[in-house]
Amino acid sequence: MNYPRRFPLRASAALTALFALAVSAAPLRGVAAQESARRSSSGVNGKIAFQSTQGGDGFTNDIYVMDADGKRQTRLTDSANDDTYPVWSPQGDKIAYLSGNESGYEIYLMNADGTNQRPLRGAADGGPVRGVNLQWSPDGTMLKYETYGNVHVIEAVAPGGGDSVLAPQNLSAADSDFPFDTDASWSSDGSKLVFISTGFSGDLPQVWTTTFGGAVQRTQLTTSPGAKFTPASAGGLIAFGTQTSGREIWVMNADGTNQHSLPGTSNAWTGPFFSPDGSRIAYTALSGAVFVVNADGSNPVQVSDAAGTGTTVFWSPDGTKVAFQATEGTQFFDIYVAGSDGTSRRASNYTKTRRADEFAYSWQRLAPAP
């Protein structure tokens, strides 16, 4: 479970030249045309949202964004609270994040440029919504979050637009056995959540799915030996970590059939993390090295020699890069980015503050210009 931490993509010259040539050959008119060209030249890779302690007392985080090449790092929040865990909406127009202190973290929303920062009010008593491990639904209308072994979903966007005020739904409360549920994520079609559940009777953590929005139906998918971790869904598959004598990545169909390990992933430590198109899986090894493997287990490659020391590896929207946190000989965490094809293991340090901790969780998707 990723609790908020309280302590402490560079464009090529050729791409820049091609962009300049296109501009000179066909002059663009107006702000809208310039924005269209910028989005087209950057594919679908928008800004990286991250938290950093660089602007405060070294212990309190604020939310920042930076361009896909690591440039133009911009501070979006500046509050007395600890602002953490920024997550882009699938449309790239909003950021959900956590803001709070030792008494609890409340879910906030803001626009992509940092304007209209406001709490998401939707608790049954009209009070704040508190939780961790945020994730938007694939259609960008709902959020998943977790509190003390309970998985919740809440409508974030009301039909017709605007923030929803509906109360959240506790999906774990539907089980009379009082399980401990964690590591939830949306199914690739957004119709269910896949998560890890552990019974208080001492049962090993196993992979389950649950429906939401009405009568909750929970379904156990795995029963095999070994504790299960961090399931993720993409393209009709569910991948998850399994701990037996070591830890490795397993894959199964969305209905739980055809469960099998991925060859060559016996060194897995964190993950799995699906690529945006669902064809590849990233993970970190026990050594901290970052690896990528095809979803069918073929072509495992090490993509970075830099040791990822955070728990999260996340993909650029076009699937060409992966980002992760590392210290690399310093006492501070920085955000590193590496190519995902393994042709070069050289990762670039994007934040390089060396005086603050930075953690990133999300990369904004921008639609290519028509």
pLDDT in tens, 83-123: 999 999 999 999 999 999 888 899 999 999 999 999 998 77
**What is the mean predicted confidence (pLDDT) over 348-365?**
89
Confidence label for 370 from pLDDT (cuts 50, 70 and 90): low
| Amino acid 287: pLDDT | 83
* Beta carbons of 170 and 152 less than 8 angstroms apart: yes
Residue type at 202?
Answer: G
Supply the pLDDT for residue 257.
97
| pLDDT score, position 29 | 31
CA 6, distance to chain mean position in Å, is: 19
Most confident of 126-130, 172-176, 257-261, 262-266: 257-261
Give the pLDDT confidence score for residue 250 in this predicted structure: 96
Amino acid at 240: F
On whether the CB atoms of residues 231 and 239 are closer than 8 A, the answer is yes
- pLDDT band for 57, please (50, 70, 90 cuts): low
Cα–Cα–Cα angle for 314, 65, 365, rounded to 5 degrees: 50
Task: Write out pLDDT tens, residues 165-213.
Answer: 888 999 998 776 778 999 999 999 999 999 999 976 567 899 999 999 9
Does the structure show a pLDDT above 90 at 230?
yes
Tokens of 14: 């050729």
What whole-number distance in Å separates Cα of residue 248 and Cα of residue 269? 8
User: What confidence category does residue 356 fall into, taking pLDDT thresholds of 50, 70 and 90?
Assistant: confident
Give residue 280's identity as a one-letter amino acid code. Answer: R
Question: What is the sign of the dihedral through the CA atoms of 368, 347, 351 and 104?
Answer: positive
The pLDDT, as a whole number, for residue 254 is 95
Residue 2: pLDDT over 90:
no
pLDDT in the model for residue 76: 97
Write the pLDDT tens digit of every residue in 127-150: 889 999 999 999 999 999 999 999
Low-confidence winner among 4-8, 21-25, 249-253, 277-281 (lowest mean pLDDT): 21-25
CA separation for the pair 339, 321 (Å, rounded) = 4
> For residue 58, what pLDDT band results from cuts at 50, 70 and 90?
low
pLDDT of residue 340: 96
User: pTM value?
Assistant: 0.85
pLDDT value for 368: 63
In the predicted structure, residue 308 carries a pLDDT above the cut 50: yes
Lowest mean pLDDT segment, chosen from 1-5, 135-139, 299-303, 334-338: 1-5
**Range in 4-18, 267-281, 339-353 with the lowest mean pLDDT:** 4-18
Higher pLDDT, 23 or 61: 61
Query: Residue type for 128, please?
Result: P
CA distance 141 to 143: 7
pLDDT greater than 90 at residue 318: yes
Q: If you average pLDDT over residues 37-47, what whole number do you get? A: 56
